[in-house]
Structure formats: C-alpha cells, structure tokens
Amino acid sequence: MSILEANKPALQPSPAIAKTSQFKLARRSFKRHWQLYLLVLPPIAYFIIFKYIPISNAVIAFKDYNVVQGIWGSPWVGTKNFNAFFSNPVFWTLLQNTFFLSLYAIVVGFPIPIILALALNEIRQGFFKRTVQMVTYAPYFISTVVMVSMIILLLSPRLGIINQALGVFGISSIDFLGNPDFFRHIYVWSDVWQTAGYSAVIYLAALAGIDPTLYEAAKVDGASRWQKIVNVDLPGLVPTATIILVLSVGNIMAVGFEKAFLLQNPLNLSNSEIISTYVYKTGLLNADYSLATAVGLFNSVINLVLLLLVNGFIKRISGSGLW
C-alpha cells in the first residue's frame, strides 16, 4: 500500500555487488536515458522553486522579516514570533476552533460514505443505483464559492427556503450564519452533502474486490443481509477505512482555508476563525510576514507529528499503515 515500497527491489541489487555496481548502474542509466533526464528537469525545477524554496523561506519565522533586507538579510530574533503567538489570547481559540471543526468533520464525515457504499452495494445494478451514484457524486464538482453562496442563499434569514419552512411551523427566522453556534454544523454537514458520494466511490471499489467465496459461504450458513454486512462487508472495508482515517486524523489541524474563509462574517468569527484563515489575515492583510509564517510553521509541524503518530499507532495495532 505504500508509494515507495513498490519500487524497493529496484534500489536493492544483490548485496555482493553493492557500491561499484550502483555507480555503474547510474552511469549506464544516464547514458541510456539522457533524454528522460532532460525531460524531468522542468518538473524538478518546479518542485525546487515552488515547494522546497518555500520550506527554506520559512526561516523568516525565526527572523524579523523586512522587505529591504530580504529573507536572509533580516535580523534573527529566535523564537520571538512563536512566543508572541503562544502568549496571544487568540492562540487557544484558534487551536480549539481548528481542532473541533476537524474532529466534528471526521466523526460525521468518516462513517457516512461507508454507510452509503454499503447501502448501494446491497441494491441491484440498474437505473436506480446508477442514478443514486450519479446524483450523490455530482455536488463534489461544485466550486467552494458556489457552495458557500448556496448555503448563504438557502439559510438567508430574509428569503432562505429553510427559514420559510421554519416559518410554516411558527418558528421565527434564524440568522444561521450570524450565530457562531451554528457555524460548525453548517460547515460539516454541507461538507458531507458535497463529498459523501465522492468518498463512497473508493469504498464501493473495495466492496467489489471482496472475495466472492466469502459471500457464498455466508449464504450457505444462512446469513441474513445484515449479518452479511457485519461479517463480510465491514471486515473487507477495514484496510481502506484505516488508511482514510489515518489520513484524516493526521490532517486534523490542516483545515482548508477556502470554505471557512468564505463562511466567515464578523458575527460568527468567534467559532469560525481557524489557523489557516488567521495566517492569511496576519500575513497578507496585516503584512506581518514573520508572525504569519511562524503560525503556519507551527501548524505544519503539529500536522506532521500527528500524521506520524497516528500512522505508527495504527501500524502497531493492525500491522498496516500508510508506509
């Protein structure tokens, strides 16, 4: 299941002819594939310029960056920017908002695609099944801007259809987006609406790959549909589900900027300000490059550590992780 593992044999020639042969191998390869080495130069330059130089640029988190002296010329200030962030009262709010938003998204967003895939797997191939798949998959292609606009229109206190429906039951209209308590529900459930069908695809493929003899055995044993789901389908989904869970828990602090930023307004900011939106505002709107970089770096490091921890943990209990 690993990206790197698949190639390992190529890197490990028989130990007896280790080093010199490695060198010869390289020379032969350069000679034989010089055209391909030229071909990979532009993409590699891309990765160096747009992915690795930014990583080295992140040193400004430890500096007092100013445009005149540039990235390397600006004075070092040690952990001043980090201290400023940690001692800022906004620190804990940001951490909590980011963490709870993400946790909520996982708790809801992880099981629903699995349930959808299991349900789709039970029904007969045909028009209805195709329609359900097609329709549940479609919202994935809607852009974030349009998605948020739809949310705002549907939830609008003035003419949103939701408030009109509530009005029928005599409930006075609610300003959903102006109330911080609703922010997480809106964010998470609209996400489920948009991505459940897309996420189910991968589970459907895993279900299709389950050994058919298991189903036959279940049938012989007189298993009901429910028992078959619990005893054959679910165990068959465990490897796929594990990977997806590792990835989402590992990325728990990396909530995307795009949707939260658009759903924000001054009224719900107490729950909707997350690390990525704060980085944008401090960095690009207030032009405090060093502080914003420090916050971003702090976030990336936490993320990486979390991902490694979760992966290690899962590996220990189930024997298979991401790598």
Partner 1 sequence: MFGINAEVQQKRQLQRANRVKESVGDRIFLGFIYLFLLFLLAVILFPLIYIVSSSFSSPLAVSSGQVVLWPVDFSTRGYEVALSNPQIITGYGNSLFYTFFGTIISVTLTVAIAYPLSKKTFFGRNIIMAFLVLTMLFNGGLIPTYLVVKAMGMLDTRWALLIPAAIGVWQVIIARTFFQTNIPDELAEAAELDGCGDLRFLWSVVLPLSKPIIAVLALMYAIYQWNSYFDALIYLKSPDLYPLQLILRSILILNTTTSGSMDAKTMLERQQLADLLKYSLIVISSLPVLIIYPFVSRYFTKGILIGAVKG
Instruction: Name which of residues 120 to 139 contact partner 1 (CB under 8 A).
Output: 120, 122-123, 128, 131-132, 134-139
Instruction: Quote the CA–CA distance of 283 and 287 in Å, as a whole number.
Output: 5
C-beta of 241: minimal distance to partner 1 in Å?
Answer: 12
17 binds partner 1 (CB under 8 A): no
The single residue among 18, 90, 119, 217 that binds partner 1, judged by CB under 8 A, is 119
Tokens encoding 302: 């936490």
47 binds partner 1 (CB under 8 A): yes
Residues 139-178 that bind partner 1 (CB under 8 A): 139, 141-146, 148-150, 152-154, 159, 161, 164
Residues 292-311 that bind partner 1 (CB under 8 A): 292-293, 296-297, 299-300, 304, 307
C-beta of 21: minimal distance to partner 1 in Å?
Answer: 12
Classify residue 70 as exposed, middle or buried by CB count within 10 Å of its CB (0-12, 13-18, 19+). exposed
Nearest to partner 1 of 60, 94 (CB atom): 60
Residues 264-293 that bind partner 1 (CB under 8 A): 276, 279-280, 283-284, 289, 292-293
Nearest to partner 1 of 102, 311 (CB atom): 311
Read off the DSSP letter of residue 63. Answer: B
C-beta of 192: minimal distance to partner 1 in Å?
Answer: 10
Residues 231-250 that bind partner 1 (CB under 8 A): 240, 243
Tokens encoding 82: 């980090």
The single residue among 46, 72, 86, 92 that binds partner 1, judged by CB under 8 A, is 46
Nearest to partner 1 of 101, 116 (CB atom): 116
Read off the DSSP letter of residue 232. Answer: I
**Position of tokens 């704060």?**
278
Tokens encoding 261: 């930023």
Nearest to partner 1 of 82, 198 (CB atom): 198
C-beta of 181: minimal distance to partner 1 in Å?
Answer: 21
Helix locations, the chain, DSSP H: 8-11, 19-32, 34-47, 53-57, 70-73, 80-87, 90-109, 111-122, 127-137, 144-155, 161-168, 180-208, 212-220, 225-228, 234-250, 257-263, 269-272, 275-280, 289-318
Count CB-CB contacts under 10 A for residue 116.
Answer: 21
257 binds partner 1 (CB under 8 A): yes
Instruction: Quote the CA–CA distance of 170 and 151 in Å, as a whole number.
Output: 22
Residues 75-104 that bind partner 1 (CB under 8 A): none
C-beta of 234: minimal distance to partner 1 in Å?
Answer: 15
Compute the C-alpha angle 126/113/220, nearest 5°: 60
19 binds partner 1 (CB under 8 A): no
Instruction: Quote the CA–CA distance of 320 and 245 in Å, as a whole number.
Output: 13
